């Protein structure tokens, strides 16, 4: 008899997990909550090649858009800096702004890529278990140790030094140009409630470099979600999970909001662990220490999204407004005390004509703290945010003003409502060194298992999590399959 | 120019680490000469009569981290070290209330409960965990960091030992250690407490000597570093040295002398003599050459390698790595001579609170805002302060009935906008007094004299680069086998015969002496 599995949620990780389970003979139902999750038009992030291969995504129409040029910024003295994946050409471009920086570009790209490659390898497997006592666990640790040693003295030194650093310290060691450092620095604070001078932001920078070609510090866009949802295998079920049914410490199924109970011997949830454990599971099954640890997971949303509808091509594929690291630090200063940045960092992406013939431009805006001081994200605040963004973009790309048809603002609270991002944080658990690898999201949950037999977590809060969509789903599914084999 | 007789070892710098190193080397029978630039020994651990009758621990001002094995090995109590306990911390608040942390368990609990019942419950658990973490880390303090990139058997064995030590921790402690190494003090404390003043006063020890705000990852470790103190076997015990911190150096110096070390003051070293890539002596600023089989520098890495050795003798990558080492001094000192005791609005009577530390740290946001000013090159408009009145505990520090007050102040950036002029120094002093007056209104009328010390002054007087009190920031990327430079964290240097023993090496600063001792043991192993 094949096992029945329910996957709660139908975001990328859930779809990937469902696919792996279905392809290994499980009968899988994907629970889709229309109210909580809307499909995104395009997704940002590195799709691990393993997933593309295993699920034959390319044959099903996966298209990955690695922008080239990947960075376009307006220079303060006029002119534009464009960086491409061609390292020599980028070096030349940077050299026009600052000779010293241009000369260092190639070495910087090489050294950062060596570290990102190590991260890629670590993301391709479940997190290492430093305290493992099993043979397999020790073997994995030894392999990791050898891999780190394989970086050589220079690479190891970079690794140990860079991970805890601030992105300001890292970039200051390499470059002089404010414009270049500002634009690169954005990746250090992406979706993080920290400023560029905070420790750990260099890790965030490397995390977003993993999977990119050398010399590219922007993650690609893809249509992966749409492709996954169109794959055959799991059956779709509409409804909201009200409760995960547990009997004697073992999962029995899911009760829907309608009251209907669906039985299954395996349940996976892509929701934030706070929701997946504290809201839908009877707390009696959980150790109070674990409950406390789960409550402490940091998920502070700091971004808003603005979508511009234009009647023609905006003349850029990407546009970054982050003129210096100090600019970003000031932007963080506001957010730190619960205010929207007066001068936020902005990244606009144009992905070509949409179906209706419109020209949508997607704008990432940071910092927009989820928890604003005195009050909430009301319409007035949202409007003000929209104006700030429009003004900034108009200043950088004046041509856009006359082509603007409409714009919509998504505040962090709207992101939570529409896409199910807890506190508006798409990464669920912030990517910081204390919520990384075996600490993600908390040590006792790092291996995708929960204290309830048969109940697993597979969302972005799990290793490697956000920015590597689908990988947590794949690791979680492999864990399920291994457990099913050993249980028999 | 004259050449004097050869020594086994010359120690450059008579700070506490240099003296500890010299004492251990001399104790092992080596002929040792210590050369101190200033007219007095002690480095940043000195007592000076700055104003007639008023004696100050001018720079470092409390004792806690000094390693017990050093106190024991060098028999420091016999040489005059006497530590008086510093038991309480009081945080006065802008609203006229205060938060006290007292030595008496019940009193402490009652006081915390006044602010938050939950915090009163959590307090013991927090203290216990920090105590256990300090214990877990203790073996690493006395360890010569192995080099992870080396294949030498000793390094490989060292890494394996390190791994097995870490793997030997129970999971709860392993994860707590991971968190302490990587989190911000503010986030870490949020997991335990809810009372603003309590979190801020604890978080303050996470920012001392660093150029990070309490919400930046990396500050939780500095918090733990300050818990590693141990006096008479009691962890997290802080104290005053009777006679000021100069008597700590004095006791170590006496031990070194007793073992036969020669200690010379007013002897500034101009450079280290390097012959055939080997250090074989030093040249003093007056031109005297002194030869020795080896040279040990207690100065920070920048002074040692850039100033005394010179880039010409070193590989460019090594020089680049030294230049990357971050100092960024962020703290200053204001020493006051008082005609009478200050009256704090929150506790107007002359009570026991004045015999402990007084912390100006009403909230984490207060500390964070203090950092905001500093990161753009300003002295904090409202700085964090750690205040003690040593004359209440050791009356010999001031004339009868009068007092000395020491204010440690942060953030005071080394790279202040406009540079450190006399006017800037006085303005900084005024900021401190004005801040103090908000909590103790009578302070201005009690001040007889004031001494204001900026990071630039610390650099000029003591020689600590950029005035960093730890000889280099205590950040994760500058610790253990990365301190001061990867590959050269084992007290050795690329110059044969030249060693480092300052707190710019593992395990770092805080009148700990561990660097001096570890260096001496390394030297003795290599030159038995």
The per-residue pLDDT for range A147-188, each reduced to its tens digit, is 999 999 999 999 999 999 999 999 999 999 999 999 999 999
Nearest to A164 among B213, B475, B486 (CB): B475
Mutation for testing the A interface, residue in B217, B322, B365 having most A CBs under 10 Å: B217
Mean pLDDT of A294-301: 96
- The CB density around residue A61, as the number of other CB atoms within 10 Å, is 10
| H-helix segments, B168-243 | 171-182, 185-190, 196-207, 219-225
Residue A455 near residue A483 (C-beta atoms within 8 A): no
Calculate how close chain A gets to B313, using CA atoms only, in Å: 22
Q: What is the pLDDT of residue A39?
A: 56
Give contacts of B206 with chain A, Cβ < 8 Å: none
Average pLDDT of chain A to the nearest whole number: 93
Q: What is the pLDDT of residue B131?
A: 87
Going by C-beta distance under 8 Å and a sequence separation of 6 or more, which residues neighbour residue B364? B186, B189, B196, B199, B200, B203, B214, B215
Residue B87 confidence class, pLDDT cut points 50, 70, 90:
confident
What crossing angle do the helices spanning A152-162 and A99-123 adopt, rounded to 10°?
A: 90
Contact B217 A296 (CB under 8 A): no
E strand spans, B349-457 = 357-360, 384-388, 403-410, 447-453
Tell me the C-alpha distance between B492 and B488, whole Å: 6
Going by C-beta distance under 8 Å and a sequence separation of 6 or more, which residues neighbour residue A487? none
Residue B200 confidence class, pLDDT cut points 50, 70, 90:
very high
- The Cα-based distances of B505 to A355, B71, B204, B475, B476 in angstroms read 62, 20, 24, 12, 13
| H-helix segments, A210-360 | 224-230, 273, 288-295, 325-336
Calculate how close chain A gets to B30, using CA atoms only, in Å: 35
For A237-249, the pLDDT digits (tens) are 999 999 999 999 9
Q: What is the pLDDT of residue A2?
A: 56
Find out whether the peptide bond into A85 is cis, omega within 30 degrees of 0.
no
* Tokens read off for A52: 């593309």
Backbone angles phi, psi at A352, to 5 degrees: 95, 175
For B238-266, the pLDDT digits (tens) are 788 999 999 999 999 999 999 999 999 99
Residue with tokens 């000021």: B244
Residue with tokens 């008899």: A1
Using a CB–CB cutoff of 8 Å, tell me whether A334 touches chain B: no
Mutation for testing the B interface, residue in A434, A436, A447 having most B CBs under 10 Å: A434
Using a CB–CB cutoff of 8 Å, tell me whether A339 touches chain B: no
E strand spans, B285-353 = 289-297, 331-338
Q: What is the pLDDT of residue B234?
A: 54
Going by C-beta distance under 8 Å and a sequence separation of 6 or more, which residues neighbour residue A447? A126, A127, A129, A479
Residue B510 confidence class, pLDDT cut points 50, 70, 90:
confident
Mean pLDDT of B273-278: 94
Q: What is the pLDDT of residue B391?
A: 96
For A65-108, the pLDDT digits (tens) are 888 999 999 898 888 999 999 999 999 999 999 999 999 999 99
Mean pLDDT of B151-174: 92
Mutation for testing the B interface, residue in A157, A298, A326 having most B CBs under 10 Å: A157
* Tokens read off for A383: 């409007």
What crossing angle do the helices spanning A99-123 and A135-149 adopt, rounded to 10°?
A: 170
Tell me the C-alpha distance between A20 and A28, whole Å: 10
Question: Nearest CA to A2 among A449, A484, A454?
Answer: A484
Residue A280, beta-bridge partner list: none
Tell me the C-alpha distance between A44 and B134, whole Å: 43
B376 to chain A: closest CA residue: A326
- The Cα-based distances of A34 to A10, A38, A397, B378, B520 in angstroms read 10, 7, 37, 52, 69
Q: Which residues in chain A (129-188) have CB-CB distances under 8 A to chain B?
A: 130-131, 148-149, 152-153, 156-157, 160-166, 169, 173
- Complex confidence, ipTM: 0.94
Contact B179 A173 (CB under 8 A): no
Question: Nearest CA to A272 among A483, A436, A434, A442?
Answer: A442
Q: What is the pLDDT of residue A37?
A: 54
Contact A156 B326 (CB under 8 A): no
* Tokens read off for B35: 């050369």
Name the pTM for this structure. 0.95
Q: What is the pLDDT of residue A9?
A: 92
Tell me the C-alpha distance between B259 and B520, whole Å: 14
Q: What is the pLDDT of residue B295?
A: 98
Tell me the C-alpha distance between A81 and A402, whole Å: 24
Tell me the C-alpha distance between A197 and A168, whole Å: 5
Mean pLDDT of B486-514: 93
Mean pLDDT of A385-393: 95
User: Is a pLDDT exceeding 50 seen at residue B2?
Assistant: no
- The CB density around residue B276, as the number of other CB atoms within 10 Å, is 6
SS3 (DSSP) at A219 = coil
The number of C-alpha atoms within 13 Å of A260 and in the hemisphere containing its C-beta is 9
Tell me the C-alpha distance between A253 and A267, whole Å: 7
- The Cα-based distances of B298 to B31, B36, B501, B514 in angstroms read 17, 10, 5, 12
Calculate how close chain B gets to A130, using CA atoms only, in Å: 7
User: Is a pLDDT exceeding 70 seen at residue A41?
Assistant: no
* Tokens read off for B178: 């991971």
For A192-227, the pLDDT digits (tens) are 999 999 999 999 999 999 999 999 999 999 999 999
Residue B286 confidence class, pLDDT cut points 50, 70, 90:
very high
Contact A198 B477 (CB under 8 A): no
Element (H, E) at B35: strand B32-35
What percent of chain B stands above pLDDT 90?
A: 86
Residue B136 confidence class, pLDDT cut points 50, 70, 90:
confident
Q: What DSSP character marks residue A371?
A: S
Calculate how close chain B gets to A417, using CA atoms only, in Å: 26
Q: Which position has the higher pLDDT, B12 or A466?
A: B12
Find out whether the peptide bond into A464 is cis, omega within 30 degrees of 0.
yes
Q: What is the pLDDT of residue B520?
A: 97
For B175-185, the pLDDT digits (tens) are 999 999 999 99
Give contacts of B178 with chain A, Cβ < 8 Å: 434, 439
Calculate how close chain A gets to B473, using CA atoms only, in Å: 12
Calculate how close chain B gets to A165, using CA atoms only, in Å: 7
List residues of chain B with CB under 8 Å from any CB of chain A: 148-149, 166-167, 171, 174-175, 178-179, 181-184, 187, 190-191, 212-213, 215-219, 324, 326, 365, 368, 372, 375-376, 475-477, 481-482, 486-487
Residue A262 confidence class, pLDDT cut points 50, 70, 90:
very high
B158-B162-B167 Cα angle (round to 5): 145
Contact B217 A198 (CB under 8 A): yes
Residue B91 near residue B398 (C-beta atoms within 8 A): no
User: Is a pLDDT exceeding 50 seen at residue B34?
Assistant: yes
Instruction: Give the torsion sign (CA, A332, A333, A338, A344).
Output: negative
Instruction: Give me the DSSP letters along A17-85.
Output: HHHHHHHTT-EEEEEE-TTT----SSEESPPPHHHHHHTTTGGGT--EE--SS-EEEE-TTSSEEEE-S
Contact B167 A130 (CB under 8 A): yes
User: Is a pLDDT exceeding 70 seen at residue B230?
Assistant: no
- Among A266-275, B220-229, B340-349, the range scoring the smallest mean pLDDT is B220-229
Q: What DSSP character marks residue B307?
A: I
Residue B86 confidence class, pLDDT cut points 50, 70, 90:
confident
Contact B217 A131 (CB under 8 A): no
Tell me the C-alpha distance between A431 and A470, whole Å: 16
Instruction: Give the torsion sign (CA, B515, B521, B526, B528).
Output: positive
């Amino acid at each position: 008899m094949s096992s029945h599995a329910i996957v709660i949620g139908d975001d990328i990780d859930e779809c990937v997990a469902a696919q792996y389970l279905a392809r290994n003979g499980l009968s899988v139902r994907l629970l889709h909550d229309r109210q909580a999750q809307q499909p995104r038009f395009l997704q940002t992030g590195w799709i691990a090649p393993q997933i593309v291969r295993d699920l034959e995504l390319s044959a099903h129409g996966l298209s990955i858009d690695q922008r080239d040029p990947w960075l376009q910024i307006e220079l303060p003295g006029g002119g534009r800096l464009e960086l491409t994946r061609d390292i020599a050409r980028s070096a030349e471009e940077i050299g026009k702004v600052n000779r010293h920086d241009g000369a260092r570009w190639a070495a910087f790209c090489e050294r950062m890529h060596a570290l990102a490659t190590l991260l890629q390898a670590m993301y391709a497997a479940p997190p290492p278990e430093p305290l493992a006592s099993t043979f397999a666990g020790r073997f994995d640790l030894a392999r990791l140790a050898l891999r780190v040693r394989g970086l050589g003295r220079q690479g190891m030194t970079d690794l140990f030094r860079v991970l805890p650093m601030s992105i300001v310290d890292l970039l200051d060691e390499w470059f002089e140009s404010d414009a270049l450092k500002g634009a690169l620095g954005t990746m250090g604070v992406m979706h993080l409630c920290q400023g560029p001078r905070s420790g750990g932001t260099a890790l965030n920078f490397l995390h977003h470099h993993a999977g990119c070609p050398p010399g590219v510090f922007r993650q690609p866009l893809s249509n992966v979600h749409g492709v996954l949802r169109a794959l055959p295998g799991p059956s779709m079920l509409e409804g909201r999970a009200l409760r995960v049914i547990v009997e004697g410490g073992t999962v029995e199924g899911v009760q829907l909001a309608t009251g209907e109970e669906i039985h299954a011997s395996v349940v996976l949830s892509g929701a934030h662990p706070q929701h997946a454990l504290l809201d839908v599971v009877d707390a009696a099954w959980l150790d109070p220490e674990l409950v406390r640890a789960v409550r402490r997971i940091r998920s502070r949303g700091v971004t808003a999204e603005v979508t511009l509808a234009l009647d023609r091509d905006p003349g850029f594929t990407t546009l970054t407004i982050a003129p210096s690291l100090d600019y970003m630090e000031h932007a963080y200063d506001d957010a730190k005390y619960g205010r929207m940045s007066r001068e936020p960092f902005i990244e606009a992406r144009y992905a070509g004509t949409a179906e209706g013939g419109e020209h949508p431009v997607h704008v990432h805006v940071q910092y927009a703290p989820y928890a604003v001081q005195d009050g909430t994200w009301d319409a007035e605040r949202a409007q003000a945010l929209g104006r700030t963004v429009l003004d900034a973009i108009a200043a950088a790309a004046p041509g856009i003003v006359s082509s603007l048809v409409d714009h919509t603002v998504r505040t962090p609270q709207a992101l939570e409502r529409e896409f199910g991002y807890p506190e508006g944080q798409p990464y669920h658990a912030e990517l910081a060194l204390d919520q990384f690898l075996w600490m993600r999201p908390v040590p006792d949950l790092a291996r995708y298992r929960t204290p309830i037999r048969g109940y697993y977590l597979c969302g972005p809060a799990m290793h490697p999590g956000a920015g590597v969509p689908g990988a947590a789903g794949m690791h979680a599914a492999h864990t399920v399959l291994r457990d099913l084999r050993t249980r028999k | 120019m004259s050449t004097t007789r050869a020594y086994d070892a010359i120690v450059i710098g008579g700070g506490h680490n240099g003296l500890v190193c010299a004492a251990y080397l001399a104790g092992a029978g080596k002929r040792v000469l210590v050369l101190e630039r200033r007219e007095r020994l002690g480095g940043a651990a000195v007592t000076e009569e700055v104003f007639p009758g008023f004696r100050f621990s001018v720079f470092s001002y409390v004792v806690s981290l000094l390693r017990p094995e050093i106190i024991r090995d060098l028999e420091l109590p016999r040489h005059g070290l006497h530590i008086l306990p510093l038991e309480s911390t009081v945080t006065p608040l802008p609203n006229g209330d205060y938060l006290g942390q007292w030595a008496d368990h019940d009193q402490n609990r009652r006081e915390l409960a006044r602010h938050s019942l939950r915090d009163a419950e959590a307090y013991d658990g927090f203290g216990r965990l920090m105590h256990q973490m300090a214990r877990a880390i203790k073996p690493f303090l006395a360890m010569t960091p192995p080099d992870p990139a080396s294949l030498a058997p000793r390094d490989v064995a060292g890494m394996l030992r390190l791994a097995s030590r870490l793997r030997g921790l129970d999971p709860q402690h392993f994860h707590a250690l991971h968190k302490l190494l990587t989190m911000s003090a503010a986030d870490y404390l949020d997991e335990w407490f809810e009372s603003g003043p309590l979190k801020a006063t604890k978080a303050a020890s996470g920012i001392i000597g660093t150029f990070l705000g309490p919400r930046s990852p990396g500050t939780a470790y500095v918090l733990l570093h300050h818990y590693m103190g141990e006096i008479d076997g009691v962890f997290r015990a802080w104290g005053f040295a009777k006679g000021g911190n100069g008597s700590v150096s004095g006791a170590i110096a006496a031990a070194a002398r007793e073992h036969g070390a020669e200690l010379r003051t007013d002897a500034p070293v101009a450079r280290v003599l390097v012959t055939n890539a080997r250090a074989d002596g030093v040249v003093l600023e007056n031109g005297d050459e002194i030869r020795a089989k080896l040279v040990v520098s207690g100065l920070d890495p920048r002074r040692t390698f850039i100033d005394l050795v010179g880039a010409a003798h070193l590989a460019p990558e090594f020089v680049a790595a030294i230049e990357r080492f971050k100092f960024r001094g962020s703290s200053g000192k204001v020493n006051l001579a008082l005609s009478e005791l200050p009256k704090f609005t929150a506790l107007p009577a002359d009570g026991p609170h004045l015999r402990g530390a007084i912390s100006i740290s009403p909230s984490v946001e207060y500390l964070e805002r203090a950092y905001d000013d500093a990161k753009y090159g300003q002295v904090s408009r409202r700085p964090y302060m750690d205040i003690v009145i040593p004359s209440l505990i050791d009356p010999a520090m001031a004339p009868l009935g009068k007092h000395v007050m020491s204010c440690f102040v942060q953030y005071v950036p080394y790279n202040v906008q406009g540079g450190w002029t006399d006017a800037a120094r006085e303005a900084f002093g005024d900021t401190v007094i004005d801040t103090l007056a908000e909590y103790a209104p009578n302070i201005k009328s009690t001040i007889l004299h004031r001494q204001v010390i900026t990071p630039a002054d610390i650099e000029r007087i003591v020689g600590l680069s950029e005035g960093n009190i730890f000889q280099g920031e205590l950040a994760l990327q500058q610790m253990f086998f990365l301190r001061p430079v990867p590959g050269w964290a084992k007290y050795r240097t690329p110059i044969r015969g030249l060693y480092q023993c300052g707190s710019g090496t593992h395990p770092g600063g805080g009148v700990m002496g561990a660097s001096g001792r570890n260096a001496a043991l390394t030297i003795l192993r290599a030159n038995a």
